Structure 1
Amino acid sequence: MGPVPDAVLEELSEELLARGGRVWRSVTSDSMAPLLRAGDRILVEPCADRIRWGDVIVFRSPAGPTVHRVLGIRRDTVPPQIIEKGDANPFAGSIALTAVSGRVCRRDREGRSLDLNHGRGRVIQLILATLSLLALGGLLAGQAVRRLLHIERPTGIATRIAGLLRALSEGVARVLGTD
């Protein structure tokens, strides 16, 4: 018998979460750096209607399971929409609440564990969510200014602001001991 295909493992993970279980996963990209890096292990729990601003969620996307941060929840749409963004990504996206598989509740890296829902881990979540939102706001403000002034190419100011906020996120992560 050979290895179990990824699609089968993903279906089993989804089923376990739907039945109230928890699932360990490996992080495969640095889109959530500095909090989550490729190779980290994360514990995903079912969350249903308990998603909060700043939470890190796992959702189904065409590219496969994706791990991003919640920057907004629009409950006035059908179905409700989650505004999501990878902390290291420059732009945000929107997904249906029904696409959410679960919430990341713990991160293990090199033998050290961080509870993301309580205490220091939750504070780190809120700080990184705020910085991610500020970085996104800087990019959107830069786009609005370019449109207003009819500038076709980015001037780089918004990109520099986003880079500065990313560097600040890295510094905060080091100070708070997320590495």
Structure 2
Amino acid sequence: MCPPCERSRMSRVSAGSSRRRDSSSLRPATTESGARSGMGSRTSSGGSNRAAASGLGEGLIFAMRAEQLERGGTIEGRISSGSMAPLLEPGDRVVVRGLSGRRPAAGDLVLFRSEAGATIHRVIGWRRVGGRRLLLERGDANPRAAYLEPSACLGRVVAIEKDGARLSVDGPAGRVCRWIWAAASWPGAHLLAPGATPPAKAAELYLRAYRWLSSLLTRLWRAASPAWRQGRP
């Protein structure tokens, strides 16, 4: 969906460009004949949301798709890294919708600009830093959180295709899981924030409990979700 963004680390806040230890990145979906049912989301004008990979540089593809999200459209792609595991793993497919003025909330999975292209992480809170209101984000599998300029956010994940199941983020099961993830992220917003120096044992116990909860929620959400489509790759 977007160019890979692997193993960079945020050391300071910058508008739309952040260093991070690890990130869930997206690979562009290639053009196909006709839009797919369900995951084949379209732009507001009705055209297919997929940018042709052939003959276009990855930077240009990303710019085109970012502009589409800024217009309130939707895009689709596959995850290519594991910082959001176990919920998002390499090969999983996601649909991202433009924010259209919506403020990201704790628990949301947001797509944002990074040095290498685009990244999907979870919002775990908001913080005021140096007079600026910043998002605090973290990959579920990452040991630290990072600050993010709100202007760097392009959209939020609204659907996930995982192991043949459709996980609707805004459906009943998705809303419950998102609320639980948001509540579970609250301690992490304090223990794992940039500059925080919690006792090593406290951070370790929190991360272990959070990983267990994430694994449980992922399994329950998948079990409560209908099959996406028979025979989909």
Calculate the TM-score normalised by the size of structure 1: 0.80
Question: 1:67 and 1:31, CA in 2 relative to 1: closer, same or farther beyond 3 A?
Answer: same
Q: 2-side partners of 1:135 and 1:74: how far apart? A: 13
Higher helix share: 1
Quote the offset at 1:72 in angstroms.
Answer: 1.3
Assess if the C-alpha contact under 8 Å between 2:136 and 2:189 holds in 1: no
Give the aligned length: 169
SS class of match (1:143) = coil
C-alpha RMSD of the superposition: 2.7
- After TM superposition, the structure 1 stretch with the greater mean CA deviation from structure 2, 33-42 or 157-166, is 157-166
Q: Which residue does the alignment assign to 2:218?
A: 173
Quote the offset at 1:160 in angstroms.
Answer: 3.6
Question: 1:48 and 1:70, CA in 2 relative to 1: closer, same or farther beyond 3 A?
Answer: farther
Q: Which residue does the alignment assign to 2:40?
A: none
Q: 1-side partners of 2:133 and 2:221: how far apart? A: 33
Assess if the C-alpha contact under 8 Å between 1:105 and 1:116 holds in 2: yes
Q: Give 5+ residue unaligned stretches, structure 2.
A: 1-52, 226-233
Assess if the C-alpha contact under 8 Å between 2:69 and 2:75 holds in 1: yes
Say which of 124, 137, 140 aligns to 1:87.
140
Q: 2-side partners of 1:18 and 1:106: how far apart? A: 18
SS class of match (1:98) = helix
Assess if the C-alpha contact under 8 Å between 2:191 and 2:198 holds in 1: no
Q: Deviations over 1:33-84 (max 9, x none)?
A: 2221111111111114322221100000113201011111347977642111
1:24 aligns with 2:69: no
1:8 aligns with 2:60: yes
Q: Deviations over 1:140-169 (max 9, x none)?
A: 7x9344xxxxxxxx4x45324312321232
Q: Give 5+ residue unaligned stretches, structure 1.
A: 146-153
- After TM superposition, the structure 1 stretch with the greater mean CA deviation from structure 2, 108-117 or 123-132, is 123-132
**Given residue 171 of structure 2, which amino acid in structure 1 is its aligned partner?**
H
Calculate the TM-score normalised by the size of structure 2: 0.63
SS class of match (1:101) = strand
- After TM superposition, the structure 1 stretch with the greater mean CA deviation from structure 2, 88-97 or 118-127, is 118-127
Q: Percent identity?
A: 33
